[in-house]
Structure 1
């Protein structure tokens, strides 16, 4: 088997490729408290778990964002709701962002 040298620009990724993700099936209360602590500390749940375990945490700030997966059916429902053509996905995203901001403002 031939060994290849990893390009320098990829060397930082080698450790990440070798990392193994560990999933925890824990009591809902434990999961909720860890998630809550992570939000309050502006961390991801994964980083919160690393902090609890005394492992190093990447201090590089992450871009704060929320995600949701939208199917074509979801886009159709939102297009109908907002009175927009289903092909105008960028406009649909703007409208749903406005709705999320309104939700926060009302609470």
Structure 2
């Protein structure tokens, strides 16, 4: 019974937390986000560090993500020459091709 009470109290504290959002210049936002990436933390944790607040989370592995419509997914399938009846496999193959393309893009831009 005590475990349930502790859990409930933690949830209550989380609900009471206040979120602050800032409308800062793009230069300030970029700098904070870049520093967060370099330090392998979230931008939220970077702000906590700047403010001298406790950062409880561990280093994060930054992920890139974006959304595709079914039409765009099919377009990429054609672009990459992927003909696959299994939709799940098709998505995995397209994902791998996109990852390879992003790596290639990064390598080319490092040299310039």
TM range (shorter): 0.7 to 0.9
Distance 2:7 2:83 in 1: 43
Which one of the candidate residues 84, 98, 101 is aligned to 1:99?
Answer: 101
Aligned residue number for residue 70 of structure 2:
72
Is 2:36–2:42's contact at 8 Å kept on the other side of the alignment?
yes
Once the two structures are superposed, residues 8-34 of structure 1 have per-residue CA deviations (whole angstroms, 9 ceiling, x without a partner) of 795596143443332111111111111
CA apart distance, 1:73: 2.3
CA apart distance, 1:85: 3.5
Once the two structures are superposed, residues 27-72 of structure 1 have per-residue CA deviations (whole angstroms, 9 ceiling, x without a partner) of 1111111112212222211111111111111242323322212221
CA apart distance, 1:83: 1.4
- CA-atom RMSD in angstroms: 2.8
Q: Higher relative contact order by CA 8 Å / sep ≥ 6: 1 or 2?
A: 2
Higher helix fraction (1 or 2) = 2
The TM-score normalised by the length of structure 2 is 0.73
User: Relative to structure 1, is the Cα distance of residues 92 and 8 closer, same or farther in structure 2, using a 3 angstrom cutoff?
Assistant: farther
Aligned residue number for residue 36 of structure 1:
34
CA apart distance, 1:105: 2.0
**1:1-107 maps to which residues of 2 (within 5 A)?**
7=4, 10=7, 14=11, 15-85=13-83, 87=87, 88-107=90-109
